[in-house]
Amino acid sequence: MGFLERLPVFLEAGEIRLDEFRQVDAHKLFIALDDKEVWEHIPRSIPTSPQDLSSALLALVATGNRRTFVIRKSNEVVGMTSVIKVLDDTEALEIGATQLSKVVWGTGLNLIVKQLLIGAIFIAGTSTVKFRTDERNERSAAALRKLGAKELGTFQDSLVRRDGSSRKSIHFSTDAAIWRHAEV
C-alpha cells in the first residue's frame, strides 16, 4: 500500500471537515465553486454542470494518482482539494487543485485544510509534501509562504492555461522534520 492509499477517507478539525469526493457531493460542490474567479488559475475547462464536475473529478481519481477531498465548514460544502502522487519522486505527495468558494477566502480555512492534509500525509509515511501554484496566483503563493513551505523557485510547467499560454509554476515543499519543528 502506497502513501496515497494510506490517507484516511476524512479529516476534521473543529467545524472543518474533509471527506473523500463522492458523486453525491457534485451538486453542492458545483454551486460552491460556481464563480469564474474561483477557476481563474485552474488549467482545465470550467465545468458547466454538476455532472461535468463529477465526471472530471472521477476521471482524475480513476488514474490512481490522486485523491480528491470535499471541504466542509459547519457541514456546508465550501471547496475541494487533492493529494496527488509526485510521479518523479516516490517519497513525496503534492497537495494541489485546491479551490474554495469566495465566501471563505481570507478566513484562514485554507491554512487549516493544508495543516490537516500535511499532518495526514506525514503520518502515512511520506518524507516530503510538495505544492505548486501558477506564477500569476499571488493569493495561493502568499498562503503557502504563510504556511511555512519552502519556496523552491519558478519553473516551466507541462500544464497549459485555458488561454493557451504555457504555465510557469512556483514550487514549494516541506518535509517532516521542518513540519514538526514548525508545529512546536
The model's pLDDT over 140-152, given as tens digits with 9 standing for 90+, comes to: 999 999 888 999 9
Q: What is the pLDDT of residue 173?
A: 95
In tens, the pLDDT along 115-172 reads: 999 999 999 999 999 999 988 889 899 999 988 899 999 988 777 777 778 888 899 9
Q: In what order do the strands lie in the sheet with 66-73?
A: 10-13, 16-20, 66-73, 76-85, 92-100, 128-134, 166-175, 150-160
Domain extents in the chain: 3-183
Name the least confident of 23-27, 74-78, 150-154, 175-179: 175-179
Q: pTM for the whole thing?
A: 0.92
Q: Does domain 3-183 have CATH number 3.40.630.30?
A: yes
For the segment 29-47, the average pLDDT, to the nearest whole number, is 91
Residue 63 in contact with residue 57, Cβ under 8 Å?
no
Q: Is the pLDDT of residue 91 over 90?
A: no
Average pLDDT of the chain? 91
Q: What is the pLDDT of residue 44?
A: 78
Assign residue 36 a region (left: φ > 0; alpha: ψ between -120 and 50; beta: otherwise): alpha
